[in-house]
Chains A and B, each alone.
Chain A
Amino acid sequence: MMKYLKFILLGVVFGIMFTKAEVISWYRIQEMFRFESFHMYGVIGSAVVLGAIGTAIIKHWRMKDLYGNTILFQDKQRTWPRYIIGGTIFGLGWALTGACPGPMFTLVGAGHPVFLVTIASAIAGTWAYGALKDRLPH
């Protein structure tokens, strides 16, 4: 149980931040795509800069995780169609719902339970991708 508790607690902090910083806000996502505010660019940009510094440090010193295993990073496959086509499809859904997968869950807790339907649809979309995978260009 303790093994899993840390993930729930980390998720709670994440969900509080998502709500308080309005990352789960449909309005903030529209504002971002309309280039009317720096807010979301600041959120994602600062996360990436700090994440990249942390990643470089972990790699340089070959740091180990909690269980003593060296932290490894997998390179993404270098086949391009899947990223541009899949990414574009994802972006269409992101702007329609105003939510990527993480915020969908937080929205359910934050007074918008109808996003349970959106999560169910996202599961159905993932299922459909799995069924069609071999027929799609990657």
Chain B
Amino acid sequence: MSLLEFLRQPWPWYVAGPIIAAVYLMLLWFGKSFGISATLHAACSMLGAGKRIPFFRFDWRTQLWNLLFVLGALIGGFIASTWLSSPTPPALAPAFTEWAAANGIQSWATGMAPTELFGWEQLLTVRGLVMMVIGGFLVGFGSRYAGGCTSGHAISGLSNLQLPSLVAVIGFFIGGLTVTWLLLPHILAL
């Protein structure tokens, strides 16, 4: 098997988790801290939100490294999907793919988000607005309210044994379970 073939296989959790831990530790070694939602805070400041709102009155350039990090993450997504895409569909749980098919989601074998729900045309539908626009808004609002997202709380915070981060992660699950089990069936029916 060539190196390229090796890399093109789907990567298991025990490869992904250690890489995330390595990135967290590398950022500490670079004198920074791992927290991606801080880029959204910096973006507001960069766009002039500090003129009226004191919360955004700080030098966004102190987060330039983080903005470049997410730019890299975007480029990484391009590299992986262009040159390293898997020859086989994702090994999702059969129970899940059955649920997806029953809800009109057929595109799970290709891509990372269902094209039936996430696309430019869907932006004009109520369902698309709820999932892409309101969903994004809640991610931005909630992460800043909680003082961090999955990287800042679930990885950095839990690694440092912070009780507040555990509470935040429990909150992430309360919200996520509410959507998946209570709201999504209605949203998909829209």
Contact = CB atoms under 8 A, between A and B. Distances in A.
Interface string A11-44: 1111111111111111111111110111111111
B159 A91 contact: no
Nearest to A5: B68
Interface in B121-135: 122-123, 130-135
Interface of A is mostly: helix
B55 A130 contact: yes
A101 B139 contact: yes
Interface residues of A, number: 111
B118 interface: yes
Interface string B158-190: 111111110111111111111111011001000
A14 B137 CA distance: 24
Interface string B32-67: 110011011101100101001101100000001110
Interface residues of B, number: 127
Given A24-B112, A128-B137, A78 B145 contact: no
Most chain A beta-carbon neighbours within 10 Å: one of B13, B41, B139, B176? B139
A76 B118 contact: no
Nearest to B148: A76
A76 B165 contact: yes
A21 B100 CA distance: 20
Interface string B68-92: 1111111111111100101000101
Contacts of A92: 135, 138, 142, 175-176, 178-179, 183
Given A90-B142, A93-B136, A16 B74 contact: no
Give 5 closest A-B pairs by Cβ, nearest first: A87-B171, A15-B76, A11-B72, A91-B175, A125-B140
Given A33-B179, A44-B150, A90-B172, 13 more contacts: A8-B69, A32-B176, A36-B95, A65-B28, A76-B157, A86-B144, A90-B141, A101-B139, A106-B76, A109-B74, A109-B76, A123-B140, A126-B144
